[in-house]
Amino acid sequence: MTSFHPYLFFAGFCREAFTRYQEVLGGELQLVTNADMPAEERMPGVGDDVIMHAALMVGEGLLMGSDDPTADEPRPVVGMQINLSVDSVAEAERIFEALAEGGQVGMPLTATSWSPAFGMLTDRFGAGWMLTVDDASTTP
């Protein structure tokens, strides 16, 4: 089976971003720091707390990321958004509001021809999100 998993890079705030994503989405979070790595695989010249790999498993979905120790300041994710599908409008509203906190809404959550609720935003960490409600009666 083939699967795709978004992998996000952060400039020193991966732990904060993934902790927030777990608060909002639930799921199981695993964080691997530079100090957790075998000695021969540690990245020299960076702190022990740098996140080398983060994995958030929510249902069948997996979101991954890490800190980019070469970046001095946050860089927005360009040309990609995380598409998150949920089962209800109420759940979409809750998640959209939480992810939009401190970020920027590109398209407010609204009914469309393909979904009872769809919206787009960039969260405060620079990651783009498209949120949609799965509805078999409106999805081709």
What CATH fold (topology level) applies to the domain 7-67?
2,3-Dihydroxybiphenyl 1,2-Dioxygenase; domain 1 (3.10.180)
Q: Label residue 45 by pLDDT band (50, 70, 90).
A: confident
**Which residue type is seen at 109?**
L
Q: Is 80 helix (H, G, I), strand (E, B) or coil?
A: coil
Query: What CA–CA distance (Å, rounded) separates 90 from 72?
Result: 38
Q: Could you name the CATH architecture of 82-133? A: 2-Layer Sandwich (3.30)
Six-digit token string for 140: 């081709």
What pLDDT is stored for residue 70 in this prediction?
73
Asked whether 88 and 133 are in contact (CB, 8 A), the reply is: yes
Mean pLDDT to the nearest integer, 18-37: 97
**16 backbone dihedrals φ, ψ, rounded to 5°:** -65, -45
Q: What does R_g of the chain's alpha carbons equal in angstroms?
A: 16
78-111: pLDDT as tens digits: 778 999 999 999 999 999 999 999 999 999 999 9
